[in-house]
Amino acid sequence: MKWIHPWDADTMLKPWGNLIGWKVLNEVELKHIENHQYKPGAYTPLDNILNPWWQQLTDLLPRWLAPNLVTFAGFLPILMSYVLAWYCSPDMGTPPPRWLCFTMAVSLFLYQTLDAMDGKQARRLNASTPLGQLFDHGCDCLALLSHSSMAIGFLCSGATRWSMAGQAVLASGFFMAQWQEHYTGVLCTSYGPVGVTETQYGLIALAAVAGILGPNGTEALMTSRLVGDFTLSNFLVSSWIVFNFFLMGMCLHQTLSYKSTTAAQELNRPRAMLDLLPVVVLNFVFLFGWDATVVADMPRVLGLSAGLLFFYLTAQMILYSMACSNFEPKQWMLFPFAALAVASRVAYLPFEVLIVKFTLILHTVALTLYVKCWILTVISELTTHLGIRVFTVEPKTE
């Protein structure tokens, strides 16, 4: 008799694709995903220090606990801190209170730790699946919204294009890492001694420092002038942007200079560059397409809308990399976002601006539902084809 957990989400996911009539993956792509083998990049020195501790924590987990549930348990605190930051500082200009700073630091620590444990739990249970990679990296991509929110809260950069640029380069860098894996077969998570772990621990430290200083102390420090009107906040944000551009440049160089061992897998550089076009367009629209009034009045909604689009693009890149299929550069989902940006530029009368803002909210809600339907369809197709579950593991029969 097949063992089924009473609260297994697969009961709801299984008929999802048939319910909405979508078909994301064909049989050939599903077969490629079934045979996909994940190849992570090299560990950093900090990873090597923390690995024994992560393994010890993993060994304490019950064997019935599915790896995806470990991932999701780490994602929930991150989601909570993002919602709380939106509530406490909807304009992005209000420095977060002490309790929120410490909450963000703890939530990111939990997320980072559990994110390092989910793969170890999968190997411990011999339950590694392609769905685990999609679920893990999909949560990582969504978590970037919370990471950006934490950084903005500490840096006090407010509802400015500086803040938008900080979010955009982070999301673009994550997309390019998945793009590199698509063409090289290896997901690079570090460059030399600096990687994802170091970056996350740095953000944890910044959130903790902001909690110690308090909102007034943090704002005074960040708004202190270095040269003229150039503040410490401006310096740190610009340094973060330059750092991410350096990483993206390294990623671009390593990918385009990649030499395959077989002629059949020879890199098509023009095609690879074309895959980056949607992200370039999204960055341009996100940073420069919107009128300054919308950026100042609705930074959270605008950031969420762009973040969901970045997630949708990145999730496709992850999925089609595993499926040995081509990523589609023509992303029609970007057009409503771009059209609204143009409308915000030409809107003149107050009621016209209000219509644009209201439509942006509707667009964000519709985009959320669309992306949710897409990812649930993909999960339904994968679980059906692979005969696996999302949040439960079946006990081994003797």
Annotated catalytic sites, by residue? 137
Amino acid, res. 198: E
d(CA 236, CA 166): 10
d(CA 67, CA 247): 30
Quick one: tokens of 12?
């709801």
* Residue 40 DSSP label: B
SS3 content of the chain, % helix, strand, coil (to 5): 70, 5, 25
* Residue 288 DSSP label: I
Contacts of 100 (CB under 8 A, 6+ apart): 81, 84, 85, 88, 153
Quick one: tokens of 6?
């009473």
Count Cβ neighbours within 10 Å for each residue of 133-168 and write b for 16 or more, e otherwise. Answer: bbbbbbbbbbbbbbbbbbbbbbbbbbbbebbbbbbb
* Residue 95 DSSP label: P
d(CA 105, CA 193): 23
Burial of 62 (0-12, 13-18, 19+ CB in 10 A): exposed
Residue that the structure tokens 């009368």 belong to: 349
d(CA 145, CA 332): 22
